[in-house]
Amino acid sequence: MCSIESVVGVKWATSNPMVLKRAIAAAPDHIIWVGGLAEVWAPSFYAVGARGFTSGLINVWPERSVAINRALEVGDFDQARALIETMHVFEDVRAAEQEGANVSGVKCALAMLGNDCGAARPPAAWPLGDDQQTTLKHFMIKNGLIS
């Protein structure tokens, strides 16, 4: 696929940085590799050559995602890890229901911010359970996203 002239980037969404490293080495130099497993995996993917990452958090807390990206771009892995640590509750909610709450967690957080964008489509876990909603609400309050 990377030999197709119009392909300029690849979203990598498999949790094996060493396979990513081999893929980067085998691909043409102009291909940009983007981590597709959000901020939590971004340091590992950056370490082997990826740049950028997908993010659910950016919809809810864009400043945090941008700060993580900036830290990684300058090679400040300690800062990136510290910033990522503050978002683990959000990612734990999204990982619930065997990853079925991935989109649901983001949509629930957006609704808490006053941006209700409707239910997540099946097979997503919707609505979030009471415990997950409470956990998410505490995360949002703790980080000053809602009061």
Per-residue pLDDT tens listing for the chain (147 residues): 999 999 999 999 999 999 999 999 999 999 999 999 999 999 999 999 999 999 999 999 999 999 999 999 999 999 999 999 999 999 999 999 998 999 999 999 999 999 999 999 999 999 999 999 999 999 999 999 999
pTM of the model: 0.92
Cβ-Cβ contacts under 8 Å for 108 (sequence gap 6 or more): 93, 127, 128, 132, 133, 136
What pLDDT shows up at residue 136?
Answer: 98
Among the candidates 86, 108, 138, a domain finishes at 86
Cα-only R_g, the chain = 17
Give the structural domain span for 131: 87-147
Write down which residue in 49, 67, 86 finishes a domain. Answer: 86
Of the candidates 101, 96, 106, which has an alpha carbon nearest to the alpha carbon of residue 124? 101
Say whether both 19 and 66 belong to one domain.
yes
In this prediction, residue 16 carries a pLDDT of 95
Q: Are residues 71 and 100 in the same domain?
A: no
What pLDDT score does 111 carry?
Answer: 98
Q: How far apart, in Å, do the first and last CA atoms of the chain sit?
A: 47
